[in-house]
Amino acid sequence: MAMLEIRGLRKSFGGVQALAGVDLHVDEGEIVSVIGPNGAGKTSFFNVVTGLFLPDRGDILFEGKSIAGLEASEITKAGIARTFQNVRLFPDMTVLENVMVAQHCRTRSGIFRAILRTPFMRREEAEIEERAREILSFFGSRLVGYRFDQPAMSLSYANRRRLEIARAMATRPKLLLLDEPVAGMNPRETAELTGLIRKLRDEQGFTVVVIEHDMGVVRDVSDRVAVLDHGVKIAEGAYEEVSTNAEVIEAYLGRPAGAGR
Amino acid sequence: MTASAAGAGRYKRRPGWVDAFLWIVRIGALVVLVWGVAGTVVQGIAGEGPTGEAWRDLVVAGIAQGAMYGLIALGYSMVYGVLGFINFAHGEVFMAGGMVGFFVANYLWDIRFWETDFVLSVLLVLVTSILTSALVAVIVERVAYRPLRGSPRLIPLITSIGISFFLQYTFAGLFGVAVKNYPPPPDYMRNRIGILGLQIEVTKLVVIVVGAAAMIGLYLFVEKTRTGRSIRAVAEDKEMAALMGIDVDRTIVATFAVGGAMAGIAGTLWALLFRGVSFITGFLPGIKAFTAAVLGGVGNLTGAMAGGVLLGLFEGVGPQLVLAGFGIPGVSQLKDVVAFTALVLVLIFKPTGLFGERLSAEDRA
Amino acid sequence: MTSIDLRRMLRWGWMAGAAPVFTAAVGMLEAFDDRPLIYPVLSLGYLMLLWFLPIAGYQASNTPVLEGMEAPPKGLHNAAAGAFAGLMGGAVLSVFTVLVNAFDMRDVFVSFSARMVELLTWGRGVPGGLAVTAGVPAVLGLAGGLMHLMSPSGRRRSILAVEWVVVAALLGQVISQVLRQIRLEAAADLMFTRRALEWWAAVVLAAVVWVLAERTKGGMGRMRERLFAADVGRRTRNSIWLAVLVLVFLIILPQLLGSLLSEVLANVGLFLLMGLGLNIVVGLAGMLDLGYVAFFAVGAYTVGVLTSPISPRFTLEWSWWAALPVAIVMTALAGLLVGTPVIRMRGDYLAIVTLGFGEIVRILFLSDWLSHTFGGAQGVQNIPGIPLGFTTVSGVGPEGVLYFALFFVIISAWISWSLQESRIGRAWTALREDETVAEAMGINIVAAKLNAFIVGAVLAGFAGALFAAKVGSVFPSSFELLVSIIILVVVIVGGMGNIPGVAVGAVVLIGVLGGPNVPGLLQEFAQFKLLIYGALLIFMMLRRPEGLVPSKRRSRELHSHELTQDAWLQKGGAFTGGQDGPGGGRQAES
C-alpha cells in the first residue's frame, strides 16, 4: 500500500485551475521529486496536501486513511510535515525554540501540568529540549552550540533553510514535503543539501517529496520524478525517462516553432 | 481511478466543536429574533405596546440616527480601505466638529442672527464643523499615523486608541467638561410634514436629506475626480499606485480630509438631532459607526452608508421589536446591546459585511 | 565646518512653542500651580510648562550619526541652536500670552484667564513680564544645547541629577511619610515644606547624585550578571536570595507606608493582576482584547452576588473563600464564551468585537432587566471582606488588601511565567509570529487561543474577586471600557510579553498617575490623567513600542527591520553560511 495516495486532486482559485486532477502515489521509503515550470501548481499541491487549502475534489489518502478536509494541524499530527518555499521560520524565537515548538503535537503537558510543574511535565520538557538538540546536531556544527539561543532571523539564509528542515523533522513525520530546499543556495551548499536529503531517508527513515527546480539535485536524489504543468501531471518516471520526454521539454521550453498539434 | 473520485462533492472542513458552537449561536439568535418579534406582534394585536404612530417615529428616528452613523462610518471605511487599520480616533474627529461648531452657533445666537436666518446659521456651523473635523483628521494623520506606516497592523490601532483619549481630554481641557447645548432651533423644525403619506419631523427630514446628499457628493468625488481616482488606486495597491505616479502621501492626506469632512457633517447633524455636545460625545457614535462600516463591508462606501442606516434602524426599532416581545422591562436601555450584538453576529457570520468588502489583497490576509 | 540644520532647528523651535502653549491652554499650568515641587522656586505647573524646552534645545542640533560615520564636531553652534529653539518657543509663548491678555476668550476656552496670563508672565503683567516669558524658555533651550558640549559622563550625571530631584520632589509626600514612619520626623520637616522639596535639599540631592552617578555605573549590569550567571547552582541560589529579599521588603512595606499609600499600592496590585492576565492574551498570544474588563466584572459580580447579605436575588451569604472557586469557574466560562466566536477573526476585528462584548456585559449588569439579580445601577452592596479567622480583610484596612493582592500577584506571576516557559507558551509565541506556519507545525490554533483567553480571564477573575471584597460593593460604573484601555496601556507602557515590564507599568501608571476611579500618588493629576495616558500611549507606540522594560523577543520583533539592515551592512550584502549573525550584539539596552 502506498504511503500517500492522491486521486484526481482539483483546486481552483477564482477562475484559475491550480490543480486540475492530479494523481500521485508515494511509497514508503521513496524520494519523489515534483517538478514543473513556474505556476504549474507545485506549491498549491503541497498546500492542499498539508491542509492549508481545502481541495475542491479528489481524495488524499495517507496510510490508507483520507486526510482531505482535516485541519492542517491534524494532518501534521497524522505524520506529514513540510517546509516552505519562502522560508517561514518563527523569526523571533531562538533556533532551539523553533525546533522545540514543532514538537507540540507529540507532547501532552497542558495548562495545569505547566502551572504545577509536575514531574511529568518537567521530564517531558527536558525530553523536548534534548530531542531538539539531537535534531539540530543532524546538520553538523551549523546549528549547535551558541546558535541554540540565537533568534532564527539572525541566521544566514542557508541556515534558515536547514533550520526549517529541522523544524519539520521535529514534528516526527513519516512523510516530509520539502518545497525548493536548495533555492538560492550556492553550489557548495547545494551539494551538501543534496546529500542531506538522501540522509533524511537513509539514516532518519523519512519518506520525502521534494519540489525542486535544480535539475542536478533532482537527478541526484530522486527515485522517481513527477512533472506538473498547468495543474496536471504530464509525466512520471525515473529521471532519465522524464528528462527526455518530449512533452516535458515542451512544457519547460515552450512549443517549438512550427510543431503544431 | 479518477472516475470514482469525480463523483465526490466539494470538501468542507470537518466541523469541530467550534463550528457546533457557532451553529448554536446562529440558531439561538434566530430563535430570539423570531420569538421576540412574535411576542411583540401578539402584544400589538392585544392592543398593548407602542401604537402604529410610535412605531413610525421609531423608524424615522432610526433612519435619521443611521444617516449620521453612516457619515461617520464613511471615514472609517475610507481609512481602512487605504491604510488597512481601524482609526479608533475617528469618533473624536466627529466630536471636534460638533464641539467647535457649537461656539459658532452660540456666537450667532448671541448676535441674534440664529433666529433671523436659521438656515444660513446652520450652514455656517456646518462649514466650521467640516473644516474643524477635516483639520483634526489631517493633523492626526500627519503626527501619529504617518510615522507608523508599514508597522504591524495592531500598532496603529493601539496608537489610535491613545489619540482618541488624547483628543477627548484635550477638548475637555480647552473647552471644559460641561455639556454644551446648541441654541434651540426655530419652532418649524419640530413641525411634521407629510411626505409619501408619512408625517415626518422637519429636523429628521433635514438630517436624512443632508446625509443622502453628502453620500451622493462623496460618491461623485470618489468616482469622478482625479483625487478620488487616486484614492481608489492607493486603496487597491499602494506600491503600484506610487509607480503610476500617484503621490501616495498626499492621497492619504486627502482620504483623511474627506473622511474628516464627512464626520464634520455628522457633527452638525448630531447637533440638530440632540443639541448637546461634550468631550465624550464622539466615543459611542464612533464605535457604532465602525460597526456600521463593518456591517456594510469595510472599504465599501455605499455599504458604509447602508450599514449606518441599518444599524440606526436596528438600534431604533430592535429593542422594541425584539426584546419587548419577551416582556423585558426598560428595553431602551438595551439599544447599545442590540447594536453591539449586531456587530458581533455580523463579524461571526459574515465578516465581509452585507455588501462585500473592498480591500486590497494584503489587507485581507 | 559646523553644520547647522536650519529646518531641524525651526521644527524643534516650533515644537518648543507648541508644547508649553498646549500645556497652558488645556489648563495644566493653572491647575498644577498650587502644587509646589521645589520650594520656593518651582511648582508642578511650571514644570509641566517648561520641561520640554531643554529637550527641544538639545534636539535642535542633535544630528543623527550613522554607524561608521564620523560624528560632526560639537561646538558653540550647538548651544546657539538650542538657544534659538528656546527663544522661538519663548516667542510663540509670548504671542500666545499677549493674545490671551488682549482678548477675552473665557467663554470658549475655559482656562484662558487673567490668572493664566499672570502665571505666564511670572507675575509681572503683560508688557513688563513678556521678557521673562520669552527669556526663560530661551535660557532652558540654551541649557539643552549646552548639553552637547558636556562629556558623555557629565551629560549622564546631570540628566540623572535632574531626574532624581524631580522624582524626589514629586514623591515628596511618600518620602516624608516613610521618614516619619521610621521616626525621622525632624529630617522630614527639614527637607520638605508643604510636600515640596526645600531648594537647598534639592541642591544637595543633585550634588549627591552627581557624585555617586559614576560609582554606581554598571552596578545593575553586575547584578544582572550575577542573577543570570551561567553556573546553574549559583543562579538558583542568587535568585532565591533575591526573591527572599523582595518578599521581606514587600512584607514590611505596608508598615512603612501607612494606610493611604497602602491603598494606592493595593490598587496597583489589582491592576497588576489584570495586567498579567491581559499580558497573556495580548503580549504572548498576540490577540488585542479590548473587552478585558468584562472578566473582571464577572469575577466581582459573582463574588458580590454570592456573599452579600443584601444581594438582590439570593441571600446565600457565602464566605469569600467559597465564592472564589465559583468566580474562577464563571470567568473561565466567560472566557470560553467570548473566546470561541472571536478566535477565527483577524486581529483588528477581534479587538472591536471584544470591545463590543465588554460593553454588552456592562450594559446587561446595568439594565433594569437583570436588576433583580445584579441590582442595576446600585449594584450589589455590603459585600463582606475576606474572613481569615483572626481578622477580616476588607477595604477598611488597606494593608490587609495589599497583602492579599501581593499573594495573588505572586500566584499570577507564577502562572504567567510557568506557562510562558512551557509548550503552551511556545505555541502562543509561534501563533503570534506566524499563524499559518504554527498550524502547519501541528499547533491547534483554536485550542491555543482559547487557552490564552481562558487563563487571561481567570486572572482577571482573581482581581474581580479581590476588588469586590476590597470595595465592599460592585456596580456597573466600575467596569467601563476605560478600565480595559487603562490595563492595555499598563501592559504596553511596561513592556508587552514581559512580567517585570507589566509590574513596572502598573507601578508607574496606576501607582503614580492613578487608574480609573482610583487616585495615584500624584492626586493632582486627577483631571489630566487620561490626557497623559493618551499622550503616553501615542509616544510609546511612536518611539518605544517595546515598552519600558522590553522582553527580548518583543524588541527583536519590533526592530527587526533595523536588524536586517545591520546584517546587510555587516556582511556587505552577501549571505553566506557559517557567519555569526548580529543578533547577539544587539539587544535592547534597558
In this structure, is residue C82 part of a structural domain?
yes
For the segment B292-320, the average pLDDT, to the nearest whole number, is 87
- Same domain flag for C129 and C255: no
C531 with C545: CB under 8 angstroms?
no
* Cell numbers 518651582: residue: C42
pLDDT tens figures, B200-255: 888 888 888 999 999 899 989 988 899 888 988 888 888 888 888 888 889 999 99
Using a CB–CB cutoff of 8 Å, tell me whether C562 touches chain A: no
Residue C225, domain member (yes or no): no
A71 and A179 in a single domain? The answer is yes
Q: How far is C320 from chain B (nearest CA, A)?
A: 31
Mutate to test the interface with A, among C435, C441, C558 (most CBs of A within 10 A): C441
> Considering its fold, how many domains does chain A have in total?
2
C347 and C491 in a single domain? The answer is yes
Helical residues (DSSP H) of B190-319, grouped into ranges? 202-224, 226-236, 238-243, 248-274, 283-296, 301-318
CB B148 within 8 A of CB B156: yes
Chain A within 8 Å of B6 (Cβ-Cβ)?
yes
Has residue A42 been placed in a domain?
yes
Side chain identity, residue B324: A
Confirm whether A69 is domain-assigned.
Answer: yes
Question: What's the total number of domains in chain C?
Answer: 2
Within a domain: residue A211? yes
| Residues A160, A101 within the same domain | yes
**Chain A residue with Cα closest to B6:** A58
Instruction: Please indicate, yes or no, if residue A85 is contained in any of the structural domains.
Output: no
Where is the domain boundary, A172, A202, A234?
A172
Per the structure, the complete domain to which residue A95 belongs is given by 90-172
Considering the domain architecture, whether residues A160 and A128 belong to the same structural domain is answered as yes
User: Are residues A8 and B2, on separate chains, in Cβ contact within 8 Å?
Assistant: yes
Predicted pLDDT at C263? 84
Q: What does the block give as the cell for B347?
A: 463579524
The yes-or-no verdict on residue B138 having pLDDT over 80 is: yes
Does C369 fall in a domain? Answer: yes
Grid look-up 421609531 returns: B58
What's the confidence (pLDDT) of residue C586?
A: 33
Question: Does residue A102 sit within a domain?
Answer: yes
Whether chain A has a CB inside 8 Å of the CB on C419: the answer is yes
Q: How many CB atoms lie within 10 A of CB C158?
A: 18
A205 and A158 part of one domain: no
Q: Can you give the residue range of the structural domain that contains C37? A: 1-149
Arithmetic mean of pLDDT, B313-333: 80
Asked if residue A183 and residue A74 are part of one domain, the reply reads: yes
Maximum average pLDDT range among A98-107, B32-41, B311-320, C552-561: A98-107
Domain boundary among C149, C174, C208: C149
Specify whether A149 is located in the same domain as A227.
no
C577 closest CB neighbour out of A114, A142, A151: A142
Does the residue A123 lie in any domain? yes
**C186 lies in some domain:** no
> Which residue from B166, B343, B344 is facing C535, i.e. has the nearest CB?
B166
Are C141 and C239 in a shared domain? no
pTM, full prediction: 0.87
Q: Which residue has the higher pLDDT, C231 or B189?
A: B189
- Span B258-293, pLDDT tens digits: 999 999 999 999 998 888 899 989 888 988 898 888
CATH number at residue A233: 3.40.50.300
Low-confidence ranges of chain A (pLDDT < 70): 1, 255-261
- Do C349 and C491 lie in one domain? The reply is yes
Name beta bridge partners: A224.
A32
Domain final position from A155, A172, A189: A172
Q: What is the mean pLDDT of residues B77-85?
A: 86
Q: Which of A108, A141, A172 is the last residue of a domain?
A: A172
Q: Let me know whether C110 and C17 are in one domain.
A: yes
Do A179 and A75 lie in one domain? The reply is yes
Whether A151 sits inside 8 A of C583 (CB atoms) is yes
Please report residues of C whose CB lies closer than 8 A to that of B152.
558
**Could you tell me which of B303, B304, B315, B309 has the C-alpha nearest to residue B342?**
B315
Together in a domain, A166 and A181: no
Q: How far is CA C399 from the centre of its chain?
A: 23
Nearest to B8 among A21, A54, A57 (CB): A57
Taking an 8 Å cut-off on Cβ atoms, the answer to whether B174 and C109 are in contact is yes
- Give the three-state DSSP class for C163: helix
Per-residue pLDDT, C67: 62
Q: How many Å lie between the alpha carbon of B342 and the closest alpha carbon of chain C?
A: 10
Same domain? For A192 and A261 the reply is: yes
Going residue by residue through chain C (590 aa), what tens digit of pLDDT does each one get? 445 678 888 888 999 999 999 999 998 888 888 888 888 888 888 888 888 999 988 888 777 666 666 667 777 888 888 899 999 999 999 999 999 888 888 888 888 888 888 888 888 888 888 888 888 999 999 998 888 888 888 888 888 888 889 888 888 877 887 888 777 778 888 788 777 888 888 888 888 888 887 766 666 666 666 666 556 667 677 778 888 888 888 788 777 777 778 888 888 999 999 999 999 999 889 898 989 999 999 999 999 989 888 777 777 788 889 999 999 999 999 999 988 888 888 777 888 889 889 989 998 888 888 888 888 888 888 888 888 877 777 777 778 888 888 889 989 999 999 998 899 999 999 988 888 899 999 999 889 999 999 999 999 999 999 999 888 888 888 888 889 989 998 998 888 888 888 998 998 888 888 877 777 777 777 778 889 889 988 988 888 887 777 776 666 666 555 544 444 444 433 333 333 333 333 333 33
Query: Strand B180-181 and strand A207-211: pairing?
Result: unpaired
The residue out of C127, C149, C171 marking a domain boundary is C149
Instruction: Tell whether A84 is covered by a domain.
Output: no
The beta-carbon neighbor of A21 closest among B2, B4, B13 is B2
* Amino acid letter for position A161: R
Please indicate, yes or no, whether residues A61 and A138 belong to a single structural domain of this protein. Answer: no
The upper half-sphere exposure of residue C581, i.e. CA atoms within 13 Å in the direction of its Cβ, equals: 27
**Does one domain contain both A69 and A133?**
no
Structural domain includes residue C562: no
